[in-house]
Chains A and B, each alone.
Chain A
Amino acid sequence: MKTERNELLTLLAELSEIYPDMRLGQLVTNVAQWAKGPVVSAAWDATDQEMIQAAKTNIQRQRGSKS
């Protein structure tokens, strides 16, 4: 598996801890929409790198809000 994909999965696991009530598909869709905007095709179109960036940004925000 690509390193990039591993990183994304790790970040999704971390997000799952932050948002335990979200279903996985819902979580992936939300990250994709943070990356690509509020469009139906976001989950289809977002690259792994874009998803990584969006996930990192959100994790950082959530950590900031709790510190």
Chain B
Amino acid sequence: MGVCLKSEMRRLWFLAVLLCLWPFAAQAHTRAPFSFVPEPPQKPSFSLRLEKAGLRQESPSLLTILCVSPDGRIGIFCGGDPIDHFDSDGRCIDGAANYLYNGGVAGQVLRGVGGYLDSYNNSSAGGGYLTGAAGSLIDELAGISAPSTYVNGLSSFGNNINTVYQSDGYLAAGSYAATSWNVGAVWSGAANINLATGEPVGDAYQRWTDVSSGVASTAGIAAGGLSVYNWATAPTTTTPTVVAPTDDGWVEQQQQQQQTGPAGATPTGPLTVDPGTLRLPPTRSEGADLFKLSQQMQQYGDSTEGMPPIQVTQGLNGEFMINDGVTRATRINTYNQMNSTVNQVPVIVIEQTAQDFGGLPTVARPR
């Protein structure tokens, strides 16, 4: 009972300290030269975001472009919002281009698209406005005056779509490594292609929603098949992890070495982990010292820039117990909890043991 009361008192005290220090921490956070200043929580309007990207919106429908999925289904390119959503691997728009180019303009909707694309270049207002950061796409579109030029223009868009996407299937994984097309690896959020298997795993492919059966093809829309892709309502599916190409094993070797170090040596890192999962040492099972924590929060905010790696011992099942850095881990975990983020911290394994750390409290759940 006494322990519970003590624990509860500690939590209340911790919250009180946080509340008192929060204005200072936030102020320090914005002053720190190396700190990352997050976007304000309010999502700006679409028009505002376009302007930030150097664009102006002529009409809400201006950026709505239909596209065709690799298996012939029709959808809206980027859900009409190419700022927040992007067809990184060009699969969608390339499919549309091929569809139009091959004369598959049987449906009324596609006729509309064709007319839109054909007249796009004549719309000086629209074309003129669409310059700036998104120019890679827009510049290509601005050059469109016929489906054939659409195809030719888009061939060079996005670092050679045609080297990545083929109408008759996807290139083998090894081929991706030979191109500059590693967006999936760099932009992990997109995760368009599983570079190990070559399978399409992008959002566009996963979230596509069939609204009727049938499949569109280059000969036209078969059996009324039509699909609508809606970024807003489509369910989010698990985004597979994009892994590095496996052409010659070099990447795997590097990753292995990074995690385990030279043969027979203690792993050296750098690794990054969710600080909340780190186990607290038994002599610090109640968590960080609150005074030190408040000092670090004022000084560094939620920044991990330049943070020395947290030194840990790796135990059974790969669990990490902190040897040095409880306060750092607690600071980042505190901000993660307050901001609903999952910022990770660098750790370095300084010792390995077969001991089980499963019974130790974690940074997220101190004793």
- Closest chain A residue, CB of each to CB of B354: A37
Decide if B282 touches A22 in the complex (CB within 8 Å): no
Please tell me if the beta carbons of A19 and B350 are within 8 angstroms of each other in the complex: yes
CB-contact partner of A39 in B262, B282, B323, under 8 A: B282
Among B265, B323, B357, B360, the residue within 8 A (CB) of A61 is: B265
In the complex, how many angstroms separate the beta carbon of B264 from the nearest chain A beta carbon?
Answer: 6
Some 12 contacts from A to B, beta carbons below 8 A apart, are A21-B324, A29-B283, A33-B282, A33-B283, A38-B279, A40-B285, A58-B351, A61-B351, A64-B265, A64-B266, A65-B261, A65-B262
List the B residue with the shortest CB-CB distance to A36. Answer: B355
Does residue B138 face the partner (Cβ distance < 8 Å to A)?
A: no
Q: Interface residues of A, CB < 8 Å — how many?
A: 20
**Which of A19, A26, A30, A38: most chain B CB closer than 10 A?**
A38
Give the total of B residues in contact with A, Cβ under 8 Å.
26
Contacting pair A62 B264 (CB below 8 A):
no
A11 contacts partner chain B, Cβ-Cβ < 8 Å? no
Looking at the assembled complex, report how far the CB atom of A64 sits from the nearest CB atom of chain B, in whole angstroms.
4
The docked-state distance in angstroms from the alpha carbon of A53 to that of B196 is 44
Judged by a CB distance under 8 angstroms, whether B108 is at the interface is no
Let me know if B324 and A34 touch, CB within 8 A. Answer: no
| Alpha-carbon gap, A19 to B324, bound state (A) | 9
Interface membership of A67, Cβ < 8 A: yes
A42–B313 Cα distance when bound, in Å, is 15
Residue of B261, B267, B285, B355 near A37 (CB, 8 A) is B355
CB neighbors of A among B300-326 (8 A): 308, 311, 313, 315, 321, 323-324
Q: Is the CB of A40 within 8 A of B266?
A: no
B277 within 8 A of partner (CB): no
| B323 surroundings in chain A (CB, below 8 A) | 22, 26, 30
- Inter-chain CA distance A62–B265, complex, in Å, is 7
Inter-subunit contact A58/B350 (CB<8 Å)? yes
Q: A19-B311, A22-B324, A29-B281 are in contact. Are A34 and B353 (CB under 8 A)?
A: yes
Which B residue's beta carbon lies closest to that of A29?
B283
3 A-B pairs with the lowest CB-CB distances in the bound complex, closest first: A65-B265, A64-B265, A61-B266
> 1/0 per residue A10-49: CB within 8 Å of B?
0000000001011000100110011001111011000000
Cα distance A66–B87 when bound, in Å? 44
C-alpha gap A40/B360 in the complex (Å): 11
A42 pairs with B266, CB closer than 8 A = no
Name A34's closest neighbour in chain B (CB-CB). Answer: B351
| Residues in B whose Cβ lies below 8 Å from that of A67 | 262, 265
